Chain A
């Protein structure tokens, strides 16, 4: 079973749409959770950390459900500049020195 699974997409949405990405992780010892975005042939860039209580940053809302081992990212009022691949990332606890485990990413394309 893959450690971090994401729908690969692509998600093709019009500007202004709301789009949701889901992610599941297999290891219940996962300690920390993040969403990164990656533009084509660029480095991953931290979008936001994900907390159990849920957290919001402007148009972006992240949720974590530890019981279901499920993470989500909601983008409201999507912009052309949101077009990228969104990477779900976890860190394991217990002996791990914090190396990130990446999903393959979900590609988002926002059209005019």
Chain B
């Protein structure tokens, strides 16, 4: 069964450093998403991406965050200057050609900011 893959599985970064989280969505999917989950809290939407542009973003997704699809397969989340409160699990998800379809999640990147 096709999967969403994410790398790295765990990233440890000093506060203030830039970090890039990588995702390879399922190949025939067209909608891509990033979510985060702070330990012990619910999964929160960050941003959705369709047709090579951001469709929607949440209040969490401020100017420190950016997304990119640099080639036909990768989908990246960049945090420009990390803060302690950015420590969380970051999940990438993708869904097929129509919105409102169930989304398939990667196994996440655990980001730890020191």
A98 and B95 within 8 A (CB): yes
Decide if B114 is an interface residue (CB 8 Å cutoff): no
* Residues from chain A with Cβ under 8 Å of B91 in the complex: 43-44
Q: Which residues of A contact B103 (CB under 8 A)?
A: 46, 98, 100
B28 within 8 A of A: no
Q: How large is the interface on A (under 10, 10 to 19, 20 to 34, 35 or more residues)?
A: 20 to 34
Across the A-B interface, the 10 shortest Cβ-Cβ residue pairs: A98-B99, A97-B55, A43-B105, A99-B45, A102-B43, A104-B42, A32-B100, A97-B48, A97-B56, A46-B102
The reply on B73 being an interface residue by CB < 8 A is: no
B35 adjacent to chain A (CB < 8 Å): yes
On whether A105 and B42 interact (CB within 8 A), knowing A31-B100, A43-B106, the answer reads yes
Chain B hits for A104, CB < 8 A: 41-42
Interface contact B44-A97, CB-CB below 8 Å: no
- Is A1 an interface residue, CB under 8 A from the partner? no
Partner of A91, one of B41, B93, B100, B110: B100
* Interface membership of B21, Cβ < 8 A: no
In angstroms, Cα B100 to Cα A34, docked, is 10
Contact A98 B41 (CB under 8 A): no
